[in-house]
Structure 1
Amino acid sequence: MNDTTTYRRFDPWRVAPVKEESRSQIVKTHYFNVDQVTLSTSKAGQFDRFVLQGNNGDGVGVIALTDDEKIPLVEQYRIPTHRWTLEIPGGHAVHSDESALDVAKRKLHEEAGYEATNFVQFSRFLNMSSFAEYHTSLFFATNLTRVSRGDFGPETPRPDVRLYTIDEAYEMAVNGTIVDAKTIIAILRLYSAPEHNLGQ
């Protein structure tokens, strides 16, 4: 019988099984950098890995809820996958002094066409821990007011905004219609929150 029971408490900060020997930056862009990292172990010897790091802080997503409990989702055309997606508003800081909350406010305005008086950060997660040292912070926005939207990039000049109930958004998150990770996480958290309130 193969007993796979683990009796010790999970500790994410226990001693690393590898030693970092060197690190050098090989790619630098506005949004991210890529480092080449040389590591070693007593059994495997030296080996290289490539680590993506975000610039100017976390990526940001903001799930908003209108007074009649609708979630604005933005149609986005995504070049890496050559497909359209439905996403909560989100993006990156344009300079190092722009906070995650400032990004949430700007993206809610630019992409969805809303301003909000209440913002609560409710989650922060690693995007792809196997190769990226990069987090996304999620915010919940309420008490919304409609405003005119801003400008967009060339890949999606004027994306449509669609309003869905919490139940409709949840159904799309679990049936595969919504494939964007930050959007799925935000919708599932909102759906499971008591009285659909992430600000509690």
Structure 2
Amino acid sequence: MNEQQQSHNKIYSCFFMDLYEDEVLLPNNKKSTRIYIEHPGAAAVLPITNNHKVLLIKQFRYPIHKVTIEIPAGKKDSPDESGLDCVTRELEEETGYQAKRYEKFIDIHNCLGYSNELIELFFAYDIYPVDNPIESDDDEFIEYFICDQEEVEHLLKTNKITDAKTIIALQEYLRRYRT
């Protein structure tokens, strides 16, 4: 069932990904072309307050030309950066909050048909605002808001959230904390 790489060509590179075009030998001995993104990885975090509410963010996503509702997330600065270091930084950059405790709960490949990107998902507990937070990136315009369980369920049921990592995190949150 495996495919054997016959050639490997980088066709584009930028600060957060490399694009490759490879020729592969299929199990039936025919050749095919595979175009895919190589990504350093990412991490995302669902911040949870002491009273089990969650902090979500809104931001404009150019590829779909919409403002989306998501959990804080970001790419790793390098493939060697830990998921915990990444979410700690991203939570503070995107919301001005930190947490007393973090728990990793799953790894996901969100688009494995064309990318190797692996996202590590975390919960952040006992969140609190930081006095002098890390400044957000110059090209990011993010708003945050806090939701209770009922609001989370409504956002999911009405398809207001379409981001896969956020849906996974919120479904796990509801499974654990539904009252």
Give the alignment partner of residue 74 of structure 1, picking from 57, 64, 70: 57
RMSD over equivalenced CA pairs, Å: 1.9
Per the alignment, residue 153 of structure 2 pairs with: 170
Give the alignment partner of residue 88 of structure 2, picking from 105, 111, 129: 105
Alignment of 1:1-200 (within 5 A): 15-16=1-2, 18-41=3-26, 43=28, 45-55=30-40, 58-148=41-131, 149-157=133-141, 159-193=142-176, 195=177
Q: Which amino acid aligns with 2:135?
A: D
User: Structure 1, residues 111-167: CA drift from partner, whole Å, max 9, x if none?
Assistant: 12211111010010111111111111100110221125443344443x221110123
User: Which has more radius of gyration?
Assistant: 1
Point out where structure 1 has 5 or more consecutive residues left out of the alignment.
1-14
**Offset at 1:173?**
2.0
Point out where structure 2 has 5 or more consecutive residues left out of the alignment.
none
Question: d(CA) in 2 for partners of 1:106 and 1:112?
Answer: 10
Verify the 8 A CA contact 1:166 1:187 in the aligned structure 2. no
Q: Which amino acid aligns with 2:117?
A: Y
SS in 1 for 2:170: helix
Question: d(CA) in 2 for partners of 1:90 and 1:191?
Answer: 20
Q: Which amino acid aligns with 1:110?
A: E
Q: Which amino acid aligns with 1:186?
A: A
**Offset at 1:42?**
6.3
SS in 2 for 1:185: helix
SS in 2 for 1:50: strand
User: Structure 1, residues 47-86: CA drift from partner, whole Å, max 9, x if none?
Assistant: 211011112xx21110011012211111111111111011
**Offset at 1:95?**
3.5
Question: d(CA) in 2 for partners of 1:162 and 1:71?
Answer: 8
Q: Which runs of 4+ in 1 moved over 6 A?
A: none
Question: d(CA) in 2 for partners of 1:118 and 1:46?
Answer: 49
Number of matched residues? 177
TM-score normalised to the size of structure 2?
A: 0.89
Change (3 A) 1:23 1:174: farther
Question: d(CA) in 1 for partners of 2:28 and 2:43?
Answer: 40
SS in 1 for 2:32: strand
Question: d(CA) in 1 for partners of 2:120 and 2:27?
Answer: 37
Question: d(CA) in 2 for partners of 1:143 and 1:103?
Answer: 18
TM-score normalised to the size of structure 1?
A: 0.80
**Offset at 1:175?**
2.1
Tell me: higher relative CO, structure 1 or 2? Use CA pairs within 8 A at least 6 residues apart.
Answer: 2
